């Protein structure tokens, strides 16, 4: 039996170290393999069949990462969800993806049972905890033998669905096949020269493509190990850095680290590579990191739907402010966003990509899928960019108005809808403004009826039960009216200019 992704990710000798945690636990690749077999048995007993979705909304832990591989091993489809999501948000994902099993943190089991009961297909609930709270999934798994007959899966079978925020305020599930994930991890491993000697400092969340696939898939393919931290916390990262050979981060990691006196040549002396992605790294941060440590950060560009598309080179110039040339095997072109005509080098246009890395479409959304692919198979990313004569790509903006705050994507529309639903609000416009810590700060410009007596604090508090913390506005500005063009469209660019310095003072 072959299972394309699982077999490749578990080919390392069992005695080798897979990861060590912040509290000193050390798990080998043999431990990982055993855990996936034990968990897979529990999953099958809970009714998981090949092609079924298994939703996971649990805190980061080695077992949470093993769950991803256990799901793939059963032939099912892994569906990770951000633990910051509210019950209302989770209800949407469960309703849309129709999972047969929902794995949740023990502290949220009552809520999860309620959500599962409301789904069409009658979803089961199991729990997986951290810090000594094993939960029902792991407790059951511990009683099982290691042997499990891996379910056969081919390259075009789905391995995961990751939800991306939608421009219309509704998230879409990006369907990723075994081939999509494996081909990209293989080429990144080679491109960035990962080997069994590597130790990756892993402080990213594991419900997003960056920490889940880019980081952990590459290391598993290379047979290297990870220092697995529950989250980014500058002190813990600096404690671990001297033992790491590589680090992957979002730009916020680097903007925070450069403020730390311990971030210097000594603590980073053992590192061979620092990688940044998920949002633009300021050229200034790039220069500050180099000044303090001597390392030139390698910036790359990708997205949930496409895995990684471009990367600055390992050898050769890493140019600040660019995301480098397309990766080998990834075709990238720039087109006129209106006509789709391919543009010559040097002109700004819509970035389109094609290759084994590109996803299989949006879950149960054939029209949306069709709208985002050209007939020749190129995917329209929604990012605007330009290609230089050296072949390097620079991202110049986002056609879709996405806000990226601390590495997380926030689509204004979703936040606007939540604000507009509050009593007394007439309308709102949500924009991203440059923020020294988060890259961009979610900012709401709100028109309210004076009689309602709404305040900035009141609006932020009212959104608490509606939106995950990272989506809530950092500031709410109450105004009398929104600027509009002749067609009635709100002029967000004008708002961004007007409030540009809001977070810099
Ligand atoms: P996600 O699907 O959450 O990974 O978000 C993907 C989006 O993040 C892309 O479409 C880009 O807009 C943005 N992005 C990712 N990496 C970079 C980068 N290095 N520079 C600028 N934007 C980036």
Encoded tokens for 486:
């002749």
Q: Is 275 in the pocket of ligand 1 (CB under 6 A)?
A: no
Look at residue 489 in the predicted model and tell me its pLDDT. Answer: 59
Average of per-residue pLDDT across 375-403: 88
* HEC-encoded secondary structure of 6-68: HHHHCCCCCCCEEEEECCCCEEEHHHHHHHHHHHHHHHHHCCCCCCCEEEEECCCCHHHHHHH
Neighbour order of strands in the sheet with 246-249: 26-28, 17-21, 225-228, 199-202, 246-249, 273-276, 298-303, 307-311
* Residue 169 confidence class, pLDDT cut points 50, 70, 90: low
Look at residue 49 in the predicted model and tell me its pLDDT. Answer: 98
Half-sphere exposure of 48 (CA within 13 A, CB side): 29
Dist CA 433 CA 499 (whole Å): 7
Which helix (H) or strand (E) covers residue 163, if one does? strand 158-164
Look at residue 90 in the predicted model and tell me its pLDDT. Answer: 95
Q: Is the pLDDT of residue 183 over 60?
A: yes
Three-state secondary-structure class, residue 188 = helix
Look at residue 131 in the predicted model and tell me its pLDDT. Answer: 77
Look at residue 488 in the predicted model and tell me its pLDDT. Answer: 53
Look at residue 487 in the predicted model and tell me its pLDDT. Answer: 47
Average of per-residue pLDDT across 458-480: 95
Tokens 């509210």 correspond to 86
Encoded tokens for 338:
């209106």
If you average pLDDT over every residue of the chain, what do you get? 94
**Nearest CA residue ID for atom 23, ligand 1:** 279
Three-state secondary-structure class, residue 348 = coil
- The DSSP secondary structure of 77-95, one letter per residue, reads EEEE--TT--HHHHHHHHH
Dist CA 70 CA 144 (whole Å): 14
Dist CA 33 CA 4 (whole Å): 15
Q: What is the pLDDT of residues 283-316, one digit of tens each?
A: 889 999 999 999 999 999 999 999 999 999 999 9
**Burial letters for 11-34: b for 16+ Cβ neighbours within 10 Å, e otherwise?**
ebeeeebbbbbeeeeebbbbbbbb
Q: In this predicted structure, which of 60-69, 390-399, 458-467, 486-495 has the lowest mean pLDDT?
A: 486-495
Which of 206, 301, 322, 408, when mutated, tests ligand 1's pocket best, judged by the most ligand atoms within 8 Å of its CB? 301
Q: What is the pLDDT of residues 401-455, one digit of tens each?
A: 778 899 887 878 789 889 989 999 988 999 999 999 999 999 999 999 999 999 9
**Angle at alpha carbon of residue 313, lines to 334 and 328, rounded to 5°:** 55
Share of the chain above pLDDT 90, in %: 84
Counting from 1 in the atom list of ligand 1, the atom nearest the Cα of 304 is 2
Dist CA 369 CA 363 (whole Å): 9
Look at residue 164 in the predicted model and tell me its pLDDT. Answer: 86
Q: Is 500 exposed, middle or buried (0-12, 13-18, 19+ CB in 10 A)?
A: exposed
Q: How far is the CA of 395 from the centre of ligand 1 (A)?
A: 9
Contact 473, 449 (CB under 8 A): no
Which of 165, 211, 286, 303, when mutated, tests ligand 1's pocket best, judged by the most ligand atoms within 8 Å of its CB? 303
Torsion of CA 461, 463, 465, 467, to 10 degrees: -140
Q: Is the pLDDT of residue 209 over 70?
A: yes
Q: Is 83 exposed, middle or buried (0-12, 13-18, 19+ CB in 10 A)?
A: middle
Counting from 1 in the atom list of ligand 1, the atom nearest the Cα of 323 is 19
* HEC-encoded secondary structure of 379-419: EEEEEEEEECCCCCEEEEEECCCCEEECCEEECHHHHHHHH
Share of the chain above pLDDT 70, in %: 97
Q: Model pTM?
A: 0.86
Look at residue 176 in the predicted model and tell me its pLDDT. Answer: 98
Encoded tokens for 435:
């923020």
* Residue 40 confidence class, pLDDT cut points 50, 70, 90: very high
Tokens 């431990």 correspond to 31
* Residue 98 confidence class, pLDDT cut points 50, 70, 90: very high
Q: Is 165 in the pocket of ligand 1 (CB under 6 A)?
A: no
Contact 98, 121 (CB under 8 A): yes
Q: How far is the CA of 303 from the centre of ligand 1 (A)?
A: 5
Dist CA 278 CA 281 (whole Å): 9
Tokens 């002396």 correspond to 269
Q: Is the pLDDT of residue 170 over 80?
A: no
Which helix (H) or strand (E) covers residue 225, if one does? strand 225-228
**Nearest CA residue ID for atom 4, ligand 1:** 303
Counting from 1 in the atom list of ligand 1, the atom nearest the Cα of 409 is 3
Q: In 303-378, where does DSSP find H-type helix? A: 366-372
Dist CA 336 CA 347 (whole Å): 9
Q: Is 323 in the pocket of ligand 1 (CB under 6 A)?
A: yes
* Residue 281 confidence class, pLDDT cut points 50, 70, 90: confident
Q: What is the pLDDT of residues 113-141, one digit of tens each?
A: 999 999 988 899 999 999 778 999 999 99
Q: Is 164 in the pocket of ligand 1 (CB under 6 A)?
A: yes
Contact 353, 314 (CB under 8 A): no
Encoded tokens for 473:
């506005």
Q: Is the pLDDT of residue 363 over 60?
A: yes
Which of 180, 188, 279, when mutated, tests ligand 1's pocket best, judged by the most ligand atoms within 8 Å of its CB? 279
Dist CA 247 CA 202 (whole Å): 7
Q: What is the pLDDT of residues 392-403, one digit of tens each?
A: 999 876 676 778
């Amino acid at each position: 039996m072959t299972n394309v992704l699982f077999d490749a990710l578990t080919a390392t000798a069992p005695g080798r170290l897979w990861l060590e945690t912040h509290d000193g636990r050390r798990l080998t690749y043999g431990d990982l393999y055993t855990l996936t077999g034990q968990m897979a048995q529990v999953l099958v007993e809970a009714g998981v069949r090949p092609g079924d979705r298994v939703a996971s909304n649990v805190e980061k832990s080695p077992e949470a990462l093993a769950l991803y591989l256990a799901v793939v091993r059963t032939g099912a489809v892994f569906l990770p969800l951000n633990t910051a999501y509210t019950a209302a948000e989770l209800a949407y994902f469960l309703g849309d993806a129709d999972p047969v099993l929902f794995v949740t943190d023990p502290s949220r089991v009552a809520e999860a049972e309620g959500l599962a009961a409301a789904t069409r297909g009658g979803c089961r609930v199991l729990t997986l905890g951290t810090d000594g709270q094993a939960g029902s999934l792991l407790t059951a798994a511990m009683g099982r033998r290691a042997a499990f007959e891996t379910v056969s899966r081919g390259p075009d079978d789905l391995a995961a669905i990751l939800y991306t925020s939608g421009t219309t305020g509704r998230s879409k599930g990006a369907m990723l096949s075994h081939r999509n994930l494996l081909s990209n991890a293989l080429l990144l491993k080679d491109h960035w020269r990962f080997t069994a000697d590597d130790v990756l400092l892993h402080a990213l969340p594991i419900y997003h493509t960056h920490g889940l696939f880019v980081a952990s898939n590459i290391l598993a393919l290379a047979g290297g190990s990870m220092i697995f931290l529950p989250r980014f916390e500058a002190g813990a990262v600096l404690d671990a850095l001297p033992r790491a050979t590589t680090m992957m981060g979002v730009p916020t990691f680097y903007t925070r680290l450069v403020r730390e006196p311990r971030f210097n040549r000594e603590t980073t002396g053992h590192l061979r590579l620092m990688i940044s992605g998920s949002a633009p790294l300021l050229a200034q941060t790039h220069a500050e990191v180099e000044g303090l440590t001597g390392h030139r950060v390698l910036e790359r560009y990708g997205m949930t739907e496409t895995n990684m598309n471009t990367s600055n080179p390992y050898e050769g110039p890493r140019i600040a402010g660019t995301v480098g040339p397309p990766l080998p095997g990834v075709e990238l072109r720039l087109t006129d966003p209106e006509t789709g005509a391919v543009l010559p080098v040097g002109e700004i246009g819509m970035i389109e990509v094609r290759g084994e890395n590109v996803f299989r479409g949006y879950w149960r959304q054939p029209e949306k899928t069709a709208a985002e692919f050209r007939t020749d198979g190129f995917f329209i990313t929604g990012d605007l960019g330009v290609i230089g004569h050296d072949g390097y790509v620079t991202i110049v903006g986002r056609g879709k108005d996405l806000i990226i705050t601390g590495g997380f994507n926030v689509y204004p529309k979703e936040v606007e809808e939540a604000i507009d639903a509050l009593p007394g609000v007439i309308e709102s416009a949500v924009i991203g403004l440059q923020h020294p810590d988060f890259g961009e700060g979610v900012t709401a410009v709100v028109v309210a009826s004076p009689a309602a007596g709404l305040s900035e604090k009141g609006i932020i508090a009212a959104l608490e039960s509606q939106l995950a913390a990272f989506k809530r506005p950092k500031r709410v500005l109450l105004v009398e009216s929104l600027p509009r063009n002749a067609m009635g469209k709100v002029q967000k660019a004008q708002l961004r200019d007007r409030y540009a310095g809001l977070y810099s003072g």
